[in-house]
Amino acid sequence: MKYGNSELRGKFVLGPMAAYTDIAFRLLCRRAGAAMCFTEFANAEAINRGGKNTDALLQTCKEEMPVGIQIFGATPEAMGKSAAAISARVQDGELFASCIDINFGCPAGSVIRAGAGSALLKSPEKMHAIAEACVKHSSLPVTAKIRAGWRNDSAVELAKMLESAGVAGITVHWRTATEGRKRQAGWEMLREVKEAVGIPLIGNGGASTPEKAVRFLNETGCDAVMISSAALGNPHIFTQANDLLEKGKYRETLWGEKRASFLEYASLAQKHGVATPKRLRAQAIEWVTGFNGVKEARKRLNSAKTEEAVTGIISSFTPNQ
Ligand SMILES: Cc1cc2nc3c(=O)[nH]c(=O)nc-3n(C[C@H](O)[C@H](O)[C@H](O)COP(=O)(O)O)c2cc1C
């Protein structure tokens, strides 16, 4: 399956997650078998201002391709302009990307109040104008990530509308914006979306284990499944889901392997200049979650003041029996 400019060699992709899916985490997930990754969303207005912090969010490298750069914003002008700026930087070889992905799904209050993210699901004509502006000004393919709707499920209509605006691929999180994570089941609705559009479809929402990820794929007919929160502290989920799909079985990850992958994350984060004590602490907490002794480890991590202190805690952490 081709997504944006890139051929995907697998069925499971890493979703965008603010404050987590930095370049180091994406590289780790790619090495573990993720077919593609997405950057966390970057504010179009900030990209257009050339803000340093936003620049760091856009940082991508050749080794991690295929990667999608995700942007959000409320107006066709700002979004078109930032799509043009990113395309130019990709053409210059400063950034690498398979596509520019528009965020039409974020339900965070500050994003909705700004009229961006999932707020746009309430105004399909505005979504259309934003998608069209990005397509017009970008030399890269433009993709979009949506939820099934704002309050009611209108995924089929929204997907068709985005396809008509020139979008080259779409990710649909099957829950609506207002129901948050409350709804437990419902990904079957994506089969209708798949049948309604000719562009590649990535399904998202609730692929929290290798079993669920494979079932999601089989029960919806989506071209790929996006795994987001279940990959936090757990890049191995991509190896496991791939193994389950291809060989019918997978093995559990041992703590020693998890420890090694966190240390690899920390080293990649240093190498690419994204390591801060705060970021490493947040990632490390995800790595120990689910293991015996997590409460004490979390307490120690929360008071770790340096990157070395964080890696030291993870190096010496041994789950209680
Ligand atoms: C910490 C966190 C940050 C997120 N940030 C983004 C984001 O920047 N852009 C986006 O499109 N979705 C974002 N999401 C949503 C996820 O990509 C995904 O759509 C959602 O978590 C449902 O998938 P899951 O059940 O596999 O986690 C975020 C989710 C989490 C948990």
Residue 183 scores a pLDDT above 90? no
- Phi and psi at residue 245, in whole multiples of 5°? -70, -45
Instruction: Compute the mean pLDDT over every residue in the chain, rounded to the nearest whole number.
Output: 96
Q: Do 97 and 123 belong together in one domain?
A: yes
145 Cβ inside 6 Å of ligand 1: yes
Do 148 and 289 sit in the same domain of this protein?
Answer: no
**Residue linked to tokens 């490493």:** 280
Same domain, 153 and 225: yes
Q: How remote is the CA of residue 95 from the centroid of ligand 1, in Å?
A: 23
**Are 91 and 236 in the same domain?**
yes
Q: Clarify whether residues 282 and 175 are in a common domain.
A: no
pLDDT at site 185: 82
181 has pLDDT over 80: no
Kindly give the distance from the C-alpha atom of residue 230 to the centroid of ligand 1, in angstroms, as a whole number. 10
Q: Residue 268 is part of which domain span?
A: 255-316
Amino acid identity of residue 31, one-letter, is: R
Domain termination residue (choose one: 217, 247, 277): 247
Domain end, chosen from 186, 212, 247, is at 247
**Residue after which a domain boundary falls, among 230, 247, 264:** 247
What pLDDT was estimated at residue 283? 98
On whether both 38 and 97 belong to a single domain, the answer is yes
Global confidence as pTM = 0.97
134 with 204, same domain?
yes
Cβ burial of 93 (10 Å; 0-12, 13-18, 19+) is exposed
Give catalytic residues, as residue numbers.
106
Residue 320: pLDDT above 80? Answer: no
Q: Pick from 185, 118, 191, 197: which is nearest to 157 by CA? A: 197
Q: What is the mean pLDDT of residues 280-285?
A: 97
| pLDDT more than 90, % of the chain | 93
Is 70 within a domain? yes
Q: Is the pLDDT of residue 249 over 80?
A: yes
Q: Tell me the CA distances in angstroms from 260 to 56, 63, 234, 253, 319, one per residue in order.
A: 25, 20, 12, 11, 14
134 and 272 part of one domain? no
Q: Could you report the per-residue pLDDT of 136-151, keeping only the tens digit for each?
A: 999 999 999 999 999 9
Residue 282 covered by a domain:
yes
Question: Are residues 175 and 29 part of one domain?
Answer: yes
| b/e sequence 100-135, b meaning 16+ C-beta within 10 Å | bbbbbbbbeeebbeeebbbbbbeebebbbbbbbbbb
42 within a domain of the structure (yes/no)? yes
E strands within the chain?
A: 2-3, 6-7, 12-14, 37-38, 42-43, 67-72, 99-104, 142-147, 170-173, 201-204, 224-227
If you take atom 28 of ligand 1, which residue's CA is the nearest one?
A: 17
Whether 312 and 229 map to the same domain: the answer is no
Structural domains counted in the chain: 2
In this structure, the answer to whether residues 29 and 140 fall within a common structural domain is yes
Ligand 1 contact, 20 CB (< 6 A): yes
Q: Is residue 196 part of a domain?
A: yes
Asked if residue 321 is part of any domain, the answer here is no
What distance in angstroms lies between residue 88's CA and the mean position of ligand 1's atoms? 27
Question: Quick one: what percent of the chain has pLDDT higher than 70?
Answer: 100
Residue 321 has pLDDT above 70, yes or no: no
Residue nearest to atom 1 of ligand 1 (CA): 17
Query: Per-residue confidence at 180, pLDDT binned at 50, 70, 90?
Result: confident
Does 205 contact ligand 1 (Cβ within 6 A)? Answer: yes
- Residue 226 within a domain: yes
**Residue 217 corresponds to which tokens in the numbers above?**
């794929």
CATH number of the CATH domain containing 166: 3.20.20.70
* Cβ of residue 207 lying under 6 Å from some atom of ligand 1: yes
The reply to whether 262 and 227 lie within a common domain is no
Say yes or no to pLDDT of 52 above 90.
no
Establish if 292 belongs to a structural domain. yes
User: What is the rounded CA–CA span in Å between residue 176 and residue 119?
Assistant: 11
DSSP state letters, 13-51: EEPP-TTT--HHHHHHHHHTT-S-EEPPPEEHHHHHHT-
Residue 161 to residue 4: CA distance in whole angstroms: 18
Which residue has a Cα nearest atom 26 of ligand 1?
228
Amino acid 155: pLDDT = 97
Q: Comparing 77-81, 171-175, 178-182, which segment has the lowest mean pLDDT? A: 178-182
Q: How far is the CA of 320 from the centre of ligand 1 (A)?
A: 31
Closest ligand 1 atom number to CA of residue 227: 26
CB distance 204 to ligand 1 below 6 Å: yes
The answer to whether position 143 is within a domain reads yes
Angle at 76 between CA 70 and CA 79, to 5 degrees: 30
